Structure 1
């Protein structure tokens, strides 16, 4: 670590330490300066007070990821502050922290809904779908009709005959999904968390068991990034797919399918309009019966 980098790290640590309220951590006594004392941070991080002092003074050398993790927890850093700490100390962001997700915030849902003719979903690192737009529900899968625990893309692909029948080349799609899923899980450090899912799929799907044992690893950038669907109402759909990071949520990603032809986009919009009209008609009939 260069002297400038060490000094920048020390200044950041000092600024985060002095903002903390000692009383909230059970520390008492009169203080000449705001925040926790250096030895109190060291105590909370389970490192030596001398080592922490050297870090703040820009002469402690490059700390390990484990030490930075403990210091970040001791200073009650937010996710973005923790990422900044790792970049200053190690020149790279920390490994992704996976957390179970029930849904997304309204701002992200509005982004999905604005993509009217482009099916779009938000998935976790374990490929569970946690948010989607109307186009995705009509073109891909009606996720809202499924219990949250069953909204997993691998389960759809290997265990749902309707989803399987829509794939133009199921074998290639399935192999790609298994390879990218393996890479995503390893990157997020979730091999243990997906153990039950993998075991269940290996028992219920011989094809998944075969592909999983092949140990292929792929990325979302491999191949032509074009998905061809055989939709029961719209016919053959060709869509280009793109994966986007979700700001502030490294455990989530947004997958967007963009129609390659204007006619395809219009067919999706027409299906959306027809679905909305059917829904309005059902609601009207219910209201009439209620009277």
Structure 2
């Protein structure tokens, strides 16, 4: 029996990747590591901990069996999945079916464009599907890079994090930032597994960057809505910025990302200094000089 939801191989790979990362000791099993021929947990051990048969679990990894919600809950518990990984497991299993995806070209919504322009001291970017950069304000251009100089087809945040030297150098911990953006891209992949542009992006970066290729194979996912970025800006110095996602209710595929600093901190003062440097010379396209 096939799952029929386009995620057969991905579900099996995800389950296998997660179980190979857990040691028997972590789940309360005797650790006879010297006699184990496989890394992590065996299929039989996962099945036993989830109170299902080994054959049932094997069929799940092979894409020959549907999983009920209670079984998925049990597997999420056994494999120590976080909230984002649990949601990913359910989507792969077709239990939280994604809405139909539109593949028409995206344009930033007018109200988001106006909001961007009004944020004169706050860097902000609108991301679309597969982390495509749809719009930005002057502060975002001053903080990251002049997005206007990048061809529209290449304006993708994951691509820039991996392939743009200026943005790569901006992050104090580039590896952490790159892994996080890649994990968010994988959430996009499960929502629309047949998106040809996303497949093209993954294929391109896999060929061009060994880190991307290796980390994509770990099947890590993330669904963060907020966090902190530590940046080393060439003009104003180190910045610790809090970021948040705001999703458009009219088009959930468009998300406004803002970066702010806590008032009274050095980062807040430096962000204001960057705004002052930018304000007098920025044009209406959002491109910083």
- Coarse TM-score class (shorter-chain normalised): 0.5 to 0.7
TM alignment of 1:49-88, pairs within 5 A: none
Select the residue among 229, 234, 243 that pairs with 1:232: 234
Matched, 1:116 2:120: yes
Q: If you compute each CA radius of gyration, which structure gives the higher value, 1 or 2?
A: 1
Select the residue among 254, 257, 263 that pairs with 1:255: 257
- The equivalent of 1:267 in structure 2 is 270
- The equivalent of 1:149 in structure 2 is 153
| Offset at residue 207 of structure 1 (A) | 0.6
Distance in 1 between residues matched to 2:240 and 2:189, nearest whole Å: 28
Q: Deviations over 1:41-69 (max 9, x none)?
A: xxxxxxxxxxxxxxxxxxxxxxxxxxxxx
TM alignment of 1:182-201, pairs within 5 A: 182-201=186-205
TM alignment of 1:98-109, pairs within 5 A: 98-109=102-113
Higher relative contact order (CA 8 A, sep 6+): 2
Distance in 2 between residues matched to 1:100 and 1:268, nearest whole Å: 36
Q: If each structure's helix is expressed as a fraction of its own residues, which one has the higher value?
A: 1
Distance in 2 between residues matched to 1:189 and 1:245, nearest whole Å: 21
Local SS of the residue matching 1:214: coil
Local SS of the residue matching 1:244: strand
Q: Cα RMSD between the aligned structures?
A: 2.3
TM-score, scaled to structure 1: 0.59
**Preserved contact between residue 238 and residue 264 of structure 1 (Cα < 8 Å):** yes
Local SS of the residue matching 1:225: strand
**Preserved contact between residue 122 and residue 255 of structure 1 (Cα < 8 Å):** yes
Local SS of the residue matching 2:101: coil
- The equivalent of 1:205 in structure 2 is 209
Single out whichever of 114-123 and 208-217 deviates more from structure 2: 114-123
Distance in 2 between residues matched to 1:264 and 1:238, nearest whole Å: 6
Distance in 1 between residues matched to 2:128 and 2:168, nearest whole Å: 21
- The equivalent of 1:10 in structure 2 is none
Distance in 1 between residues matched to 2:144 and 2:232, nearest whole Å: 10
**Preserved contact between residue 96 and residue 250 of structure 1 (Cα < 8 Å):** no
Q: Aligned pair in 2 of structure 1 residues 256, 100: CA closer, same or farther (>3 Å)? A: farther
Distance in 1 between residues matched to 2:247 and 2:263, nearest whole Å: 25
Distance in 1 between residues matched to 2:194 and 2:127, nearest whole Å: 15
- The equivalent of 2:165 in structure 1 is 161
**Preserved contact between residue 119 and residue 140 of structure 1 (Cα < 8 Å):** no
Q: Across the two proteins, how many residue pairs are aligned to each other?
A: 187
TM alignment of 1:18-33, pairs within 5 A: none
Distance in 2 between residues matched to 1:160 and 1:215, nearest whole Å: 24
Distance in 2 between residues matched to 1:120 and 1:156, nearest whole Å: 16
